[in-house]
Every structure is written in structure tokens, then in C-alpha cells.
Amino acid sequence: MRIISIVGLKNTGKTSLTSKIIKELTNREFKVASIKHSHHQMEMDHEGTDTYKQMESGSDFVVGIGGRTYFNINERLDLERILFLIKLIENPDFVVIEGFKSYPYAKIATCKEVEDEYTIKTVNSFEITDEELLDLVDLIEERSYDILDTLFVSDCGYNDASIIGQAFAQGKLDYNPDTQAEVNLAIDGINIGLNKFVSNYIKQTVLGILNPLKIKEYGVEDFENIDLTIKNKKD
């Protein structure tokens, strides 16, 4: 999974540019998720619907299932937690974020005032041409990267996640998702970084435990992902 954030001041074309980038990524047959950051109250449901009534009645977590599935959580989640859950549920190729300019992810800026060490390009959203958009998405493919706390590289001197992220964003290191850890761990909602050794150890241990289980009886043959939750109950 790779993350790119579109940042800028108000009325600098963030939403327009975000939509164009999402469309081009999907044209390239990537699976895309997106996040919209707002300083205002946002409602994904409307007054009068059954799910709205459930939330108003006191439910903290409402799920609506129909042609689509949506989650309405009565809580403000941190971006890192949202990214982890997106990866757990869908594991898209790209997550495109509109906003969150203070977070340490690769960024496209729509004005110079928000540039920082994670900015990979500043563009005029209102004047960008089709050819420039293609070049911009090429750059996004090269410079964007996964959840910060999951990053690691074997290069000497790059042992801090934020420095690794900056190096990817600035083109000093090449990001290759195939070389990253295959196990993602969160404890009480906090992402925990794993190096390659620990990641492989956990993976092989869990796969070894699965071998004697009769998982085929549950219709499981070949599989790509394993989701595991451990409750650490206190006596």
C-alpha cells in the first residue's frame, strides 16, 4: 500500500486535483482508497434513515449493508489507525488523502505555503495539463510509501521511520513494497513497526500453527491474508 496526500490552503484546488489523481490511478488499474480530512462535522448518514436512528439511539458503531457497505463510528480516529484499518480490510494499492498536511506522508502541494520535507511536487491545480498530470502520477508511483511505522530499509544510516519516509519522498531511496514486512501489527490501536526478521518469524510461526488445523473444512484452500486478533485479558 502506498499513501499520497494532497495538501494546500483553502480554495487552491485540492479536491479537483485529488479527483484527477484518483481517476488516473484507477485508469492504471490500481485499487484506490481515499480519505477526506475536514475541520467541520461530517455525517455519512442522513436524518430519517434507519441507520441514523440507530446512531441517535446510542449505538457507537453502525454498519450499513446494501449495494455498498459503510461504517459510521461515533469517534474521531487518528489517521494512522484509519490507514491500518484500510490496509486490514481492503489493502489497496494506493490511499489518496485530501488534507492532513502536518502528517509525514508523501505530499502533492497546491501552494508553496504548505511545502515541507515530504513534498514531492507543488502544482497549480487549476492549470495542470493532461500530460503534466500523467507525469505527476508517475512521480506518485515512484515516491509514495506505506504507513510510516511499517517502513524499514537495510541501508546504514536509515533507521528512523520519519527519516526513511523523507528519503523516499525526496527520491534518495527507492520504495519497493515487495521488500517491506509482510506482517502488520497494532496494539491497542497503535501501529508497531516490525523489521524483516520479526515479520518473517511471526509469519512462519502462524503458518506453522495453521498446518494441523482443518481449515479446508471451512472452505479455505489457498489464501493471501490472515487476520488475527489476540485479547490480552487481565486476571
Non-local CB neighbours of 148 within 8 Å, separated by 6+ positions: 80, 104, 105, 161, 162, 165
Q: Is the pLDDT of residue 192 over 70?
A: yes
Q: How many residues belong to the chain?
A: 235
pTM, two decimal places: 0.87
Q: How confident is the model at residue 32 (pLDDT cuts 50, 70, 90)?
A: very high
Q: Is the pLDDT of residue 40 over 70?
A: no
Helix 14-27 to helix 130-143 angle (10° resolution) is 80
pLDDT (tens digit per residue) in 132-186? 999 999 999 999 999 988 887 766 567 788 888 999 999 999 998 888 888 999 9
Distance CA 66, CA 39 (A): 29
Complete domains list, the chain, with CATH: 2-43+73-218 (3.40.50)
| Residues 182, 91 contacting (CB under 8 angstroms) | no
Indicate the average pLDDT of the chain. Answer: 89
| Residues 78, 71 contacting (CB under 8 angstroms) | no
